[in-house]
Amino acid sequence: MSGRSDRGGFVFIMIPDVVQSLNATLHREFAFQMVQWPSEMMPTNEEQLTASELSQRTHFWVSAVCFTYLLTVFLGTSIMWIGRPPYELLKSPQKVLYRRALTSASFCAHYLLCVWAAVWSSSTGRLSKEHGLDWELYYLLFAGSCVWMLCQAVSARALNPEIYYSASAFFKATLSTVVPFLADPVDTPKDAMFGGLCVCSSHTFLKVLGVISWVWLAVVHVGLFAFDEVLLELSVGYAGVFYSTETQGYPSDTSHNWCNSNRSSCLSRAREWLANVANHPATWCSQKAMPLMVVLYKQTTTAKKRTIVWEDTPQTLMAVAYFFCEGGLSQLVFLCNIMLPVGKLLFAYLMGGCLAKLVVPWLAEEFVCARKHAHFDKAEMIKNTLANSLETQELALRQLDDDSNVRLTVAWILTEQQFYLNKYGQFQFWNRKSSDDVEAAACLAVILTDPDVDVRRAAVQ
């Protein structure tokens, strides 16, 4: 019995149908079905396929993407969740140069692969105005990103065997690499496809516009790499595993020890501060909602806004020109090159300030992790964000009224400003930095960012 169907499909390759299972779940039904490898691979014209064949292709490849993602997360987490503290810190300038080179190389490889897929599809009649690339090419690009992430995980383990990563480190890195709408690398295929659609047009102007679109996509990223804050943002997307700060354990280098002298006094003062600020009603989001708020906040950072303005705005204008020249706008171009960039830009500018204030606790913890890992450039960027979120440029902050104010104390400390609580419950600027206060503040940061320490209990002990 042949394992291959008459039209080229492999009958023995079947996977659970995620799309059908999800539809059944939404209708409160239980249905477990399998979907077979599509009978037609890389069709030159999807319109020639029947509705049933088109549906099968969608179900199979969506399911394949989901299971590939789950397998990647499982393998990556297994690779990274091995290690032992402590580890040796690298110098910040060395990290910046390494990050710039690695991010640039990763982007170039991803960019060339996306443009190749668009050029090949447009030249062979496989590029659709409604669906873009074939599912096989979408899967190839996705699988390539997954393989790159696994290579990063293996390299991170081999180059830094002493680092002890947390179980969530790899998963959180994938959110900025392969998840649509959240990852910059996922934007590159849509821009490459738009250039391909322009090149396929019968209008000479659009053909030139398509080439300009491809060139601009490369040039704007190279230009954005010159901005340190944007470089940090793009590094998370193109080499996120290497720069994960989701680790457990503390560096052993005493020069970076957070509290290396007079520890009893530091603990005493830290607990005193905790007791002073731990009894206020909440204004920040709950810990359960914090992960979602963090994901949303990352879409509103200054670097993200700059990337959207410089990368997506020209693409949107080109899409409008495509509309006028073609006499109509494809669903793909309208959604991906006009609606999506406009929505992202409005969200970033309208919600950025609000979300920055909601995620102050996370920013404070990220600052601690960045300092522990000697990512001093990242720490400086987070410090500036904290300063803006907490309005630390003012001599007196507004009255604090949240039950997580212990976290706010961390943010206050880590901005490398010195404040004290006055009788009105306000933080006021203290020009003179006492070494004892700095030690106590550092010790407090350890207490509040240690996942095994109950903050409330620490406040009363």
Question: How does pLDDT run across 348-391, given as a tens digit for each residue?
Answer: 889 887 787 777 667 766 766 666 666 666 776 776 666 566 54
Looking at per-residue pLDDT, the higher value among 157 and 262 belongs to: 157
Q: What's the angle, vertex CA 126, arms to CA 125 and CA 130, rounded to 5?
A: 110
pLDDT at residue 14, rounded to an integer: 80
* Residue 147 in this model has a pLDDT that exceeds 50: yes
Rounded to an integer, the average pLDDT of 66-72 is 93
- Asked if the model's pLDDT at residue 171 lies above 80, the reply is yes
| pLDDT value of position 390 | 54
Question: What is the secondary structure of 128-178 as a DSSP string?
Answer: BTTTBS-HHHHHHHHHHHHHHHHHHHHHHHHH-TT-EE-TTHHHHHHHTTT
Per-residue pLDDT at 320 exceeds 70: yes
Write phi, then psi, for 433 (nearest 5 degrees).
-95, 110
As a whole-number percent, the residues of the chain with pLDDT over 90 amount to 16
Average pLDDT on 138-167 reads 84
Q: Are the C-beta atoms of residues 300 and 351 closer than 8 Å to each other?
A: yes
Q: Which of 105-114, 116-125, 371-380 has the lowest mean pLDDT?
A: 371-380
Greater model confidence, 178 or 368: 178
Q: What is the pLDDT of residues 207-243, one digit of tens each?
A: 999 999 999 999 998 888 888 778 878 888 888 887 7
Indicate the pTM of the whole model: 0.71
Q: pLDDT value at position 177?
A: 86
Average pLDDT over residues 398-412: 40
The mean of the pLDDT values for the chain is: 70
Average pLDDT for 282-308: 75
pLDDT at 401: 33
* pLDDT, position 238: 87
For 187-201, 237-251, 310-324, which range has the lowest pLDDT when averaged over its residues?
A: 237-251
**Cα(400)–Cα(278) distance, integer angstroms:** 10
Q: For the chain, how many helices (H) and strands (E)?
A: 19, 6
Choose from 199-213, 223-237, 272-286 the range with maximum mean pLDDT: 199-213
For 239, the token pair is 């080499």
Q: Give the other-Cβ count within 10 Å of 214's Cβ.
A: 21
Please count the other Cβ atoms lying within 10 Å of the Cβ belonging to residue 311.
20
| pLDDT: which is higher, 371 or 306 | 306
Nearby residues of 50 by Cβ (< 8 Å), 6 or more positions away: none
